[in-house]
Amino acid sequence: MNTESENTTTADSKAANSSGLGKSVSFTNVVKSYGMKEVLHSFSLQIDPGELICLLGPSGCGKSTILRCLAGFETITHGDITVDGESVVAMPPRERGMGMVFQHYSLFPNMTVLQNIAFGLKVAKVGKKERLERAQRMLNHVGLADFGSRYPNELSGGQQQRVALARALVVNPSVLLLDEPLSALDAKIRVQLRDEIRAIQQKLGITAIFVTHDQEEALAIADRVAVMHDGHLEQIGTPYELYVSPATPFVADFIGQSNKLETRVLPNGMVDVLGFDVPLLRPLDANTPVTVFVRPENVVLRRPDAGNGDHVVHSSMFLGAFERTEVRVGTVSLVSQHAAGERFSPGERVSVEIRPEPVAAEPIDIAWARHATMKADVRVNAGAGERQS
């Protein structure tokens, strides 16, 4: 069609090993400092072609920095980043061939929706007719077929973000970067768009990195989730792995909800939680004082067959499919999650049972010392997660 592409014949065959478009991405010991302050400490991560990885963590944990290092907007201080085995660290962003969706849409307000999407093709000198046609087809795929001639400020936030997605995808990027793309949207749109992003990503087989601070979002769409904290990778694994076997207390606390209870490791290697023996995810020495993280769904409440239970129901919250009930146990309060059919009313006396599901535990007092050993565990676990996926 358009012949601006003399040098395309040099594109080599390695790029096309694909059924999809996915490329592998690898971070090796990436360090990023601003002046004396190190914000990423030796970050390593392997991403497989076609995988969707969520970088999850509280704000300031370094997750956006990683994305910006990969995009080329931040220059890494040490280490290497490769895409399909090629180092990209010396390339300016425009040459990296990635696509990015920003938190605040960042559409070009002076262009129509269609012109926005066609912009990347225009830069690549694709002929006018072809680029408009492709932009229109991409627009159809994000469900905005009739919006091509509108201006961005005439669209809702969700529509704008769809356009931004189409704009990033139409140039066929090697990797799709999403920097908290949904956090400015309403809850309902957020869920809907999140599922659409996942569907399109899977259909294209494109490698995607999705930064978010919303754990529900991360668990819902990611192949694997990388949990970050203070510039470290805490754990990487499938959503299921993170939930049932958190490698560090931080992950146990950050992913899902947990009751934090103080107890002691028994000689048999289990911990005593309110009189029930519960196994540990990772062994600890007997007698170590620990905080254990017990999931609310593993706290079972029962109405005693006869007489009164030992504990008093404090409050109860209806959450649709399930119900969350808070019980006073001595001085602590314990949250239980159960099917919505079983209702407990405040003031009712119940008995409590803890299911023997393995729990994460953090030694008390010497927590900081233990933290270091757990870090080592993370790496092992990260490797394991990768093999599984």
Partner 1 sequence: MRQVSNALKLSPFVVYVLLMFALPAALVVVSAFRDGSGGWTLANFNIFHRPGVGAAFGNSLWLSALTAAVGAVLGALVCYALLGYREDGVVHRLVDAASSTLSQFGGVMLAFAFIATLGNQGMVTLFLREVMRIDIYAHGMWLYTPVGLVLPYIFFQMPLMIVTFYPAMARLPRQLSEAVAMLGGGAGHFWRHVGLPMLMPSFMSGFLLLFANAFSAYATAAALISQGSQIAPLQVRAALISETGLGSEGASGALAVGMLAIMAIVVGLYALVERKSSSWLC
Partner 2 sequence: MALLNYSVAIDVLEADSGADFESERSSVAANRPLERHRHRGTNAVCGPRSVWQPYDRPGSVSKTGILLGFSLFLLLPIAGMLYFTFRSATGGFTVDHWLALLDASGFSFMTLSEGLLNSLMLVAVTLAIELMLVIPAFVLISVRFPRLNRAMGVIMLLPIAIPAIILVVGLAPALAFFADIVGPNTWTLALAYGILALPFVYTTISSDLRGLDCRTLAQAAESLGAGWLRTLTDILLPCIRRSIISSMLITTAIVLGEFTIASLLNRTTLQTALISISKTDVYLSVIVTLIVLLCTLVTLFIMATGNRPSRKES
Nearer to partner 2, 34 or 240 (CB): 34
Max CA-CA distance within the chain? 87
Among 121, 132, 225, 299, binds partner 2 (CB under 8 A): 121
Least distance to partner 1 from the beta carbon of 46, Å?
A: 23
Based on the shown chain and the rule CB under 8 A, indicate whether residue 380 belongs to the binding site for partner 2. no
Q: Give the integer Cα–Cα distance in Å for 385 and 368.
A: 25
Based on the shown chain and the rule CB under 8 A, indicate whether residue 230 belongs to the binding site for partner 2. no
CB atoms within 10 A of CB 91: 14
Give Cβ neighbours of residue 104 (< 8 Å, ≥ 6 apart).
Answer: 184
Based on the shown chain and the rule CB under 8 A, indicate whether residue 137 belongs to the binding site for partner 2. yes
Q: Which two tokens stand for residue 75?
A: 């220059």
Based on the shown chain and the rule CB under 8 A, indicate whether residue 146 belongs to the binding site for partner 2. no
Q: Which does 59 bind (CB under 5 to 8 A by kind): partner 2, partner 1, none?
A: none
Nearer to partner 1, 46 or 106 (CB): 106
Q: Which does 111 bind (CB under 5 to 8 A by kind): partner 2, partner 1, none?
A: partner 1
Instruction: Give residues 171-190 in contact with partner 2 (rule: CB under 8 A).
Output: 171-172, 174
Least distance to partner 1 from the beta carbon of 111, Å?
A: 8
Based on the shown chain and the rule CB under 8 A, indicate whether residue 117 belongs to the binding site for partner 2. no
Interface contacts to partner 1, rule CB under 8 A:
71-73, 92-95, 97-100, 102, 104, 106-111, 119-120, 122-124, 153, 167-168, 171, 177
Instruction: Give residues 282-301 in contact with partner 2 (rule: CB under 8 A).
Output: none
Based on the shown chain and the rule CB under 8 A, indicate whether residue 97 belongs to the binding site for partner 2. yes
> Contact letters (x/-) for partner 2, 71-90, by CB under 8 A?
-xxxxxxxxx--xx-xxxxx
Nearer to partner 1, 110 or 331 (CB): 110
Q: Which does 9 bind (CB under 5 to 8 A by kind): partner 2, partner 1, none?
A: partner 2
Q: Which does 119 bind (CB under 5 to 8 A by kind): partner 2, partner 1, none?
A: partner 1
Taking CB under 8 A as the binding criterion, the range among 148-156, 196-204, 260-268, 269-277 that sits at the site for partner 2 is: 196-204
Instruction: Give residues 13-72 in contact with partner 2 (rule: CB under 8 A).
Output: 13, 15-16, 20-21, 23, 28, 72
Give Cβ neighbours of residue 111 (< 8 Å, ≥ 6 apart).
Answer: 119, 151, 152
Among 60, 143, 157, 205, binds partner 2 (CB under 8 A): 205
Kindly list the distances between the CA atom of residue 98 and the CA atoms of 66, 91, 173, 223, 249, in Å, as whole numbers in the listed order: 14, 12, 5, 20, 35
Size of the site for partner 2 (CB under 8 A): 59
Taking CB under 8 A as the binding criterion, the range among 2-10, 102-110, 249-257, 374-382 that sits at the site for partner 2 is: 2-10
Q: Which does 312 bind (CB under 5 to 8 A by kind): partner 2, partner 1, none?
A: none
| 37-47 and 25-34 strand pairing | antiparallel
Least distance to partner 1 from the beta carbon of 175, Å?
A: 11
Least distance to partner 2 from the beta carbon of 228, Å?
A: 22
Give the residues lining the site for partner 2 (CB under 8 A).
1-2, 4-5, 7-13, 15-16, 20-21, 23, 28, 72-80, 83-84, 86-97, 121, 124, 126-127, 130, 134, 137-138, 141, 169-172, 174, 200, 203-206
